[in-house]
Amino acid sequence: MAGNSQEYISHHLTNLTYGKLPAGYVRHHTDEQGHTHAEELSEATWTMAHSGEEAAAMGFSAVHVDSLGWSIGLGGLIMLLFWRMAKKASSGVPTGMLNFVEMIVEFIDNTVKESFHGRSALVAPLALTIFTWVFMMNFMDLIPVDVLPTLFGALGVHYMKVVPSTDVNVTLGMALFVFALMIFYSIKIKGITGFVAELTLHPFHAKNPLVQAIFVPVNFFLEIVALIAKPISLGLRLFGNMYAGEMIFILIALMFSAGIALGLMAGVLQWAWAVFHILVITLQAFIFMMLTIVYLSMAHEDH
């Protein structure tokens, strides 16, 4: 049971990976009769990974097809939804889905007005995009963990992780995009000189030029560490919370195969955790959006 449980957990936490296996790599295949065959690659080969070991052997060139597919698909779904609602918008009183969408837009617009102290036509649309996109990626965690992997497994797909925000590559990718915007606006608003001065003249400052020169490397070290920590913490916070939530769902799903008593308990736990997780996925989307607004606001402040 322990071996099966470990295989079950490992399978659900492995991405569908496409990449290049190096020449000389030995692939192992299992036929329908259960016999294992070894195949040594004569040249580097681009292929789908059939195991976690193959995915690791692909190295940096590997692409998580499931994470990219679900995140892009959910982003397209959001754009389609807002496009349809925008076409229905009128001066009258909104109803149904249009009312719900307008509530979200108004809520985020007010949040940006309260938290962002600069002037930018980008921040509010960016905040709306981040909140809705991250929420939809997180929402996939509420789908029972075996449903979609089983459906894709029937089509011959080996692995299928359906929650993009449990992939650190996705969360850090979004965080690095926010970081790039921070650097861009810092230089645009403050100039190269102002940006460098911000990194070297704070937090320690002295009127004596000699003492200030001593403080410059200390200030630079402290400020650069704080600057780099922002995108790392932004991406890892979302990844850590969603990965932990997904792991709990997987562990609960394991209980269904451990007898009737544990199966009934698992049903109760799954329902309770799903209800609580609705708050978690919403809160994580809101935190990611708020930190993005705050970081961009700091980039617009010219001291």
| DSSP single-letter state for residue 208 | S
Which residues are annotated as catalytic? 233, 237, 241
**DSSP-derived 3-state class of residue 165:** helix
Residue pair 170/71 in contact (Cβ under 8 Å)? The answer is yes
Q: At residue 29, what are phi and psi to the nearest 5 degrees? A: -115, 145
What tokens appear for 127 in the block?
Answer: 């905040």
- Beta strand pairing call for 26-30 and 36-40: antiparallel
Residue 297's nearest CA partner among 230, 241, 245, 244 is 230
Q: What is the CA radius of gyration of the chain?
A: 24
CB-based burial of residue 235 (10 Å sphere; 0-12 exposed, 13-18 middle, 19+ buried)?
Answer: buried
Residue 71's nearest CA partner among 142, 150, 166, 175 is 166
Residue with tokens 């690659």: 41
